Amino acid sequence: MASGRFTVNYNSTPPDSTAMAQFFSQILVSQYANQQWLNNSNTFVMCTNATDVFCEEDSQYTDSNRSCCLYSLDNNANYIDPPPGLPELANSTYGIPPPNITASALASYLAAKYNYTASTFYSTLDTQVLLDPSQQAFAQGASFQGV
C-alpha cells in the first residue's frame, strides 16, 4: 500500500494457472506425505559435499555443492529401498518426482534449519509473486522449499 491505496504492478506476468493448480495440489499431497513420514517412519534426507553418493538413484538430487538422497530405516535400523510411499508419490496420479522431494527438503533446511514452519513457507511464497514467473515457486513445483 502506498498512501493508503493499493498499488498494482501492471508489468508483472501472472503465473500460469495450470502450474498454480498443480503446485497447490502437490503441496497438499506433500504435506500429507511429510506428516506420515514424520509420524510413522524414519525417513530423512542425507547430503554429502560430493557429487557421488550411495543411495536409491530415483531420489538423488545434486546441485553444484552437494548430493542428497532420501533414506528410510525400519525400526531395526535396516535400510528400506525405496522409502515407504515414494513410488506412489512419483506415479501419474500425484506426479511428484522423488528428486523434487529431496530438493525441497534441502531448500527448507538451508532456509531455516530444523525450524521451518508453515509460516516460513507462506512468507516465502508471498515474496515469490514479485519474481519473474520462470523463477516463482509455481515454476519450481514440488522442489520449492517447504513443499
User: Can you give the pLDDT at residue 1?
Assistant: 46
Q: Which residues have CB under 8 Å from 141's CB, separation 6+?
A: 19, 22, 23, 26, 100, 147
Query: Which residue bears the cell 502506498?
Result: 2
pLDDT in tens, 76-122: 888 887 888 888 888 888 888 989 988 988 988 999 988 888 888 88
Q: In angstroms, how far is the first alpha carbon of the chain from the final one?
A: 29
The per-residue pLDDT for 131 is 81
- What is the rounded CA–CA span in Å between residue 58 and residue 89? 12
Whole-number Å distance between alpha carbons of 147 and 125: 11
Q: What is the pTM of this model?
A: 0.78
Indicate whether 15 pLDDT > 80: no
- What is the side-by-side strand order in the sheet with 42-48? 42-48, 67-73, 61-62
Backbone angles phi, psi at 47, to 5 degrees: -120, 150
Peptide bond preceding 133 in cis form (omega within 30 of 0) = no
C-alpha cell at 121: 513457507
Q: What is the pLDDT of residue 7?
A: 56
Rounded-to-integer distance, Cα 59 and Cα 79, Å: 14
Question: Residues of the chain with pLDDT > 90: what percent?
Answer: 1
